[in-house]
Structure 1
Amino acid sequence: MNLTHPEKLVYSPHEYGPEVFQQPWFFEDSFPENMEKIWDEAFGFIAKNNIAPLFIGEFGISNLDNYDGKAGTWFKTFIKYMAKHLISWTFWALNPNSGDTGGILSTDWITPVQWKIDNIKELFAPLINEPVAIRNKNMNTKGVHMKPKIINGLLSVHPVTNAPGSLYLYRSNGALVRKAAGVSMQLDGVCSGVYTAVWKDNRNHSFSSPVVIERK
C-alpha cells in the first residue's frame, strides 16, 4: 500500500506489562535492559527515524509489586523510554473498574491513585499560563504576546521580556521536542502537527502559544 502522505498516518500501539500479557521477555535474565531493543523493533523506530506520528494508545498497571516487581520495573522502564524518545501517549485507564490495570481514579471515582500520578508526571504537559490580565499584573509588563512565526523552517517569537531566555517546543502530550537559546529555532526534522511553543526567561517568566507545523 502506497500512501500519498505517509507522514500523516498515526501509529498507535498498545504496550502492557506482565499483568496483562506474560511475554517471555519479562522473564529473561536481561530484563529490563532487553526492553529498549524490543520496543525499538516493534514501534520505536517510527519515532526515532521521524517516519510518522507515534501515539501509545494504551499502557497501564495495577500494582508495582505484581510478578515479583516485574510489573513495576516494566512500567518505570517504559516511562523512561517514552520520555527519552518524546513519544506521545494516553494512560489506561481513567476509570477504576478496568480489570487488568485499574485506573487513575480510586474506587470512589474521585480520589486519584497518587503513586500512578507520581510515576507518569514526568510525561505531563507544562502547566497552562495564568490569564493574561493576571500575568500582566504580576509581571508589570505589557510584553505578553509571543506572535510565533515560521519562515523558511525557522520558528521565531517576539521577545516577551527584556531578560534573556530560551524557546521550547512541546508536543500535545507535553513531551519536549526541541530547545533553543534565544527567540528562534530551526524546525528541520519536526513532523507536521500542532505543537506548543513556550518561551522562558531567566526570571522564571514563561509564555506559551500554539504552533501549527505543516509539511507539504
Structure 2
Amino acid sequence: MALSQEVLMSPSRQRRLTAFRTDITAGKPRSDEHLFGVLFGLPADLQRELARHMVARFSPIYETHHPQAAWVQELLAGVDEYFSANGKGLAEEPETTYGGDPEFRYALHGLSDAWSYARDGNLAKVCTACCTSLIWAISARASNVWYADDPEAARGFERGDREACRGRGPRSNVAAVAVAQREWLLVADWLEEHQAGDYPQADDDERGKWFEWWQERECNL
C-alpha cells in the first residue's frame, strides 16, 4: 500500500508508526523494524508504560490459571515500587502451566530488565527490553487462544510431537492470528493516543546499531 503524500512529509517517527500500522493491517505477524524505530529514543517511562499496559492485558488470564499469584497484580500496579522498594523479583514459575503462561513470564522478565536499564540510564536497552516484552505479551494472548482452539495440536507441541502440530501452530491458527493482529493494532493505538509520533526522531545510526544488536539475539533479552 502506497503511503500518502501527507505521511511522506511527516516526521520520521510518525512515518514509522504509520508504516507499523500498515504492516499489521496487511497481515504481517509483526513489524519489528518499525516498532523498534518508533520506540527507540522515546522517554524511558513512556516505553515502559506501553510494555506494562500490554503485559497487563494477559494478567487476568494468568491469575485464572494461577489464583495464588497475587504478586502479578502487585508488580503491574507499580513496577518501580515492586522492584525497587522491596527488592522483589519474579516468583518461581508454577509447576503446571497452560496456554500463554510461559510467554507471559518472558514478558514480565522484559519489564524487569527494562526497569534495570532505566535505573542505569541505558535508554537503548530500555527499548530492546520493552520491544521484547511486547512481543512476548502478545504471543501469550495468541498462544492462549491457540490452546483453546486447537488443543490437539497444543498437546502435541507440549509432548514434542512435531507431526501432531505440523502446520497447526499459533501462526497458522486463524483465531490466534486474529488476536495477535488485534493486540498489535492496540499497540499502534496506544502510541498514537500518547502522541509518540510527535517526538523527535533518534539518530538513525544509533538506532540501526541497536536494532541489529537486538536482531542478532533473535529479538530476545
Output the TM-score relative to the length of structure 1: 0.25
Higher gyration radius (CA): 1
Higher relative contact order (CA 8 A, sep 6+): 2
Higher helix fraction (1 or 2)? 2
More strand per residue: 1 or 2? 1
